[in-house]
């Protein structure tokens, strides 16, 4: 009898252990976001850029939704400063690094990865050109790369331009049925700038709109540079410019302020040049509401921040980067939708 009781006790213990294992596995599988506190280091190329500043806010807000501690660092578009910040994060036992780096060139991205790899820290990099990712994706197994679905936002910006062009009395100043415009874009070889530019121009072409590109200028995403650029070229092209298309709202706001130096876009309908931005910053929306700017595309940066964290959390758990998400990978790059919507000047 004693032997029987001992046998039953052993079976019950084994059953309890089995149930605990099964329960743990189910909880791990069903919970895409870890419940322990995770230390996340976020490096944003420059908080002087309005979008980067909005990103900081959304990454900080993750702390209200998930068990995370977020530290956002601003290298001010300086790779050397960025390297120092990255080294400091790594030495302080960070669990995850999310980066929109100061440089997306291959050698700079490779250097970033080489600094992270000895620590075996999960790394999510955003806005790295797919061509660069193709060459470096195998350098570090615990790294993931994501880009925004910027082609759609560029196309939507093109639709705003097209719709305004359909009322030619507003935009076709010389009645030649050709849209003369200036393009203020992001840096050369920047994946977001390239996709947005391709998106807007493809819509204009497919809509049968004849265009003449008066000037195109690559910037570092800063308002001051765009303002200075428009102030300078206005002396040459002022009476020819029918529209200014900018890759983001900081550049669009800078363009508006550049025009205002010459009395344009201050409230007079007779001295107004349509300016189109993209990203939906508060200042751009304010200018649109005042009738001083024509339109923008508002993007959901909260969703982007959450998606980047979800990717990183999967890396922490040694899972596929897109597991338990609605994200898809194309050519080794994860595409993140931004839920874009149009915001235009009220007629």
What local confidence, expressed as pLDDT, does residue 252 receive?
99
Outline where the chain has alpha helix (H).
2-30, 50-61, 79-91, 106-116, 130-136, 150-165, 168-171, 191-206, 223-237, 249-260, 282-289, 301-316
Query: What is the sign of the dihedral through the CA atoms of 144, 109, 184 and 214?
Result: negative
Residues 261-294: pLDDT tens digits?
999 999 999 999 999 999 999 999 999 999 999 9
Q: Of 70, 146, 133, 157, whose CA–CA distance to 304 is shortest?
A: 146
pLDDT at 156 over 50: yes
User: Which tokens hold the place of 132?
Assistant: 């660069």
Q: What angle do CA 202, 208, 210 make, to 5 degrees?
A: 90
What is the average pLDDT across 97-116?
Answer: 97
Question: Any residues with CB less than 8 A from the CB of 39 and at least 6 apart, and which?
Answer: 68, 69, 71, 92, 93, 94, 95, 96
User: What architecture (CATH level 2) is domain 151-298?
Assistant: 3-Layer(aba) Sandwich (3.40)
Q: What's the chain's average pLDDT?
A: 91
- Nearest-angstrom CA–CA distance, 95 and 3: 50
What local confidence, expressed as pLDDT, does residue 35 receive?
62
What local confidence, expressed as pLDDT, does residue 86 receive?
98
What local confidence, expressed as pLDDT, does residue 76 receive?
95
pLDDT at 151 over 90: no
Q: Give the residue extent of every domain in the chain.
A: 1-30, 38-149+303-338, 151-298
- Nearest-angstrom CA–CA distance, 143 and 115: 12
Are the C-beta atoms of residues 315 and 98 closer than 8 Å to each other?
no
Residues 214-268: pLDDT tens digits?
999 999 999 999 999 999 999 999 999 999 999 999 999 999 999 999 999 999 9
Residues 72-87: pLDDT tens digits?
999 999 999 999 999 9
Quickly count: other Cβ atoms within 10 Å of residue 177's Cβ: 10
Are the C-beta atoms of residues 88 and 59 closer than 8 Å to each other?
no
pTM: 0.83
Q: CATH: 3.40.50.2300, 3.90.1150.10, 3.40.50.300, 3.40.50.2020. Which one for 38-149+303-338?
A: 3.40.50.2300
What is the average pLDDT across 116-140?
Answer: 96
């Amino acid at each position: 009898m004693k032997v029987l009781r001992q046998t039953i006790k052993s079976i019950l213990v084994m059953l309890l252990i089995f149930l605990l294992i099964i329960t743990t596995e189910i909880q791990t599988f069903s919970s895409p976001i870890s419940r322990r506190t995770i230390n996340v280091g976020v490096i944003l190329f420059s908080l002087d850029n309005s979008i980067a500043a909005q990103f900081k806010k959304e990454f900080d807000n993750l702390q209200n939704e998930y068990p995370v501690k977020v530290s956002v660092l601003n290298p001010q578009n300086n790779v050397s400063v960025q390297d120092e910040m990255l080294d400091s994060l790594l030495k302080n036992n960070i669990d995850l690094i999310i980066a929109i780096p100061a440089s997306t060139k291959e050698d700079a991205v490779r250097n970033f990865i080489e600094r992270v790899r000895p620590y075996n820290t999960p790394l999510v990099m955003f806005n790295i050109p797919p061509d660069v990712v193709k060459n470096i994706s195998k350098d570090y197994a615990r790294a993931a790369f994501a880009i925004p679905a910027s082609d759609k936002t560029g196309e939507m910006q093109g639709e705003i331009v097209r719709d305004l062009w359909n009322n030619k009395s507003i935009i076709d100043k010389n009645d030649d049925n050709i849209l003369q415009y200036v393009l203020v874009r992001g840096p050369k070889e920047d994946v977001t700038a390239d996709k947005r530019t391709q998106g807007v121009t493809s819509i204009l072409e497919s809509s049968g709109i004849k265009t003449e590109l008066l000037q195109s200028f690559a910037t570092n995403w800063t308002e001051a540079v765009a303002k200075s650029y428009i102030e300078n070229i206005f002396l040459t092209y002022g009476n020819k410019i029918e529209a200014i298309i900018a890759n983001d709202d900081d550049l669009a706001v800078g363009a508006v302020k550049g025009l205002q130096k010459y009395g344009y876009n201050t409230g007079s309908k007779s001295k107004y040049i349509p300016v189109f931005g993209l990203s939906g910053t508060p200042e751009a929306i304010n200018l649109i509401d005042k009738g001083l700017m024509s339109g923008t595309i508002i993007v959901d940066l909260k969703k982007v921040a959450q998606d980047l964290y979800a990717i990183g959390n999967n890396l922490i758990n040694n899972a596929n980067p897109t597991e338990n998400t609605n994200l898809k990978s194309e050519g080794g790059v994860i595409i993140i939708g931004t839920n874009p919507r149009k915001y235009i000047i009220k007629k």
